[in-house]
Chains A and B, each alone.
Chain A
Amino acid sequence: MEPRTEAIYNKNIAITALVGILASLLLAFKEGVFSPVPLYGSLIFILILFIGHFLTNYLFPNQDPALFILCCFISQLGLIMLYRINSESALKQLIWFGIGFFLYFISSFVCRNWIEIKVGSLIFFITTAALLASPLLFGVELYGSKSWIAFDNVLFQPSEFAKITFSLFLADSLKNHKIEKPIYFFGQIFVVLALLALARDLGGAMLFYFAALTIIFAATSRWDLTALGLIGAGVAGILGYQFFGHVRVRAKAWLNPWEDVPGKGYQIVQSLFAIAEGGFFGTGLGLGRPDYIPAVTTDFIFSAFFEEFGFLGAAALIVVYFLLVYRGIKISLSIENSFLCLSALGITVFFGIQIFTIIGGVIKLIPMTGVTLPFMSYGGSSMVMSFISLGILNGIKMRASGGEADG
């Protein structure tokens, strides 16, 4: 790494730590008397941040350090908001963050060394399908979709992990830049989407659909298929509107939430009020009313962030997410091996679409779909899986740049 770039990374680590300390000091005074809990939390976070950055840089000299810094920055803003909404969930999330970092490290290491071990697309497909089918068999229903599995009070969403295996499945199937057995291939994709639809996780189904479409386009350059896919999405949307009650409810809440504010439009309208309250500079940390927004720690965390950090803060957050996508794209562009390239692209595209749909949903640019905001929303599986995905991306990067830096 160039010394100049390294200095910039170190500077940004320092800024992240400073934001954390200031925010935790502020939150420590929130109830009028000084409470040291947020400060401890912040120090633990900063410790993980420092160890994570310097340790991985030492062990993996040719990794992409920006990935870790960016996701830590976002996670920290998420933790600040969570602590401010509900201190207990913030502490849990901090534990998940620690676990996430550990798995990031592991998955980076594993991918650097062994990602090319040949398992073939079929294994990836079977894993994906098994993951998605598991909650249907022994899952619990939560927020209207049956996509969760409970282990001793810890809820786990297998579809988060399926995003990774699905990306690898697509990359492996398409590594020769063509669809070799179309019926077989599309059949597999259909099974994946059907399993998501059966769990009534329509946001997830949409995410997988668009990710698949993007990867197929990238690998095969088939404009005809892409156009067909987009038309298909439109048709599916119309059919969904006609035949599924909850699709209709969501679409109506998007088109005119004011029609039924206390009912169907409630969530989105509360989100919009929060965003309106924020204005350009925000109300200030701790001065907004996130308690008015339903599902604020998961789906609507962005609205709560907007209310307290304002348009300027939220726009910056969007750019930080964009930088994350940019780093992913940059990694996939630097790789010659098409399987690795498509895997990196798949993981990045999942991040990108997910971020766009959830932020677009809560600000009413597009209809609301219940997906999480990576690194920010409260939830173990989302946090952990986002870290693992990023770790894989980092591993692929190291794999590709091979020994250049070592040489």
Chain B
Amino acid sequence: MFELLSRTLRYVFIILIYYFLYNFLKIMIADLRGEKTQPKETGFILLDDDGNRYTLFDINTIGRADDADIIINDPFISSKHALIFKRGSKLLIQDLHSTNGTFLNNKKVTRPLRLKENDEITLGTKKFKFLRSETLGAEDRSYLQ
């Protein structure tokens, strides 16, 4: 009886094992597809005073508008306020003719300016810190707990 049971069950096992595999391969293929279409992270982030992090990609528009890449709801920020973009290996910031202006280390941004680690960016009244994503991890561990 055991023999018969076992000989029959082997097909069930194989079906289950392949179902398991199929599920994981589905994730893997989704991953591989996603990697191609997703914008690449630059390894830098913006950190606001409240501790919110915004990952920076190759091109980021910042503003109140729904279609901005980084949406910030603040009355002093224009719908498309500023742009951070990659040129070569460097990240630059540009003002998009905002009402209240964009400031880099308290200087008004009138032409694209290069960003360096620990720079302070002011949009309207909101302040952001420009940081490397992994430095943040090492520096500030409190949020992990």
Contact = CB atoms under 8 A, between A and B. Distances in A.
Interface stretch (B6-14, B57-65, B70-78, B110-118): B6-14
Among A283, A284, A336, A407, the most chain B Cβ lie within 10 Å of the Cβ of: A284
A313 interface: yes
**Chain A CB within 10 Å, residue with most, of B18, B21, B52, B133:** B21
Interface string B1-30: 111011111111110111111011111100
Interface string A59-92: 0000000100010010000000000000000000
B129 to A, nearest CB: 14
Interface string A282-297: 1111110000000000
A26 interface: yes
Contact of B31 (A70, A308, A312, A330): A330
Interface string A12-35: 100110110011001001101000
B10 A309 contact: yes
Contacts of B5: 26, 29
A342 to B, nearest CB: 14
Interface in A272-308: 281-287, 308
Contacts of B133: 336, 402
Contacts of A281: 10-11, 14
Which secondary structure dominates chain A's binding surface?
Answer: helix
A386 B27 CA distance: 24
Interface stretch (A134-142, A319-327, A350-358, A366-374): A319-327
Nearest to A319: B21
B14 A15 contact: no
A309 B143 contact: no
Contacts of B55: 404
A12 B9 contact: no
Contacts of A73: 20
A403 interface: yes
A242 interface: no
A22 B1 CA distance: 16
B24 to A, nearest CB: 5
A330 B27 CA distance: 12
B2 A16 contact: no
Interface of B: 1-3, 5-14, 16-21, 23-28, 31, 43, 52-53, 55, 133-134, 136-138, 141, 143-144
Given A19-B17, A284-B8, A312-B18, 17 more contacts: A8-B24, A18-B16, A22-B13, A26-B2, A73-B20, A116-B138, A281-B14, A282-B10, A283-B7, A283-B10, A287-B6, A309-B10, A310-B10, A313-B10, A313-B13, A320-B24, A336-B134
13 contacts: A15-B20, A18-B16, A22-B12, A30-B2, A66-B24, A112-B144, A285-B6, A313-B14, A320-B20, A323-B24, A337-B134, A404-B55, A407-B52
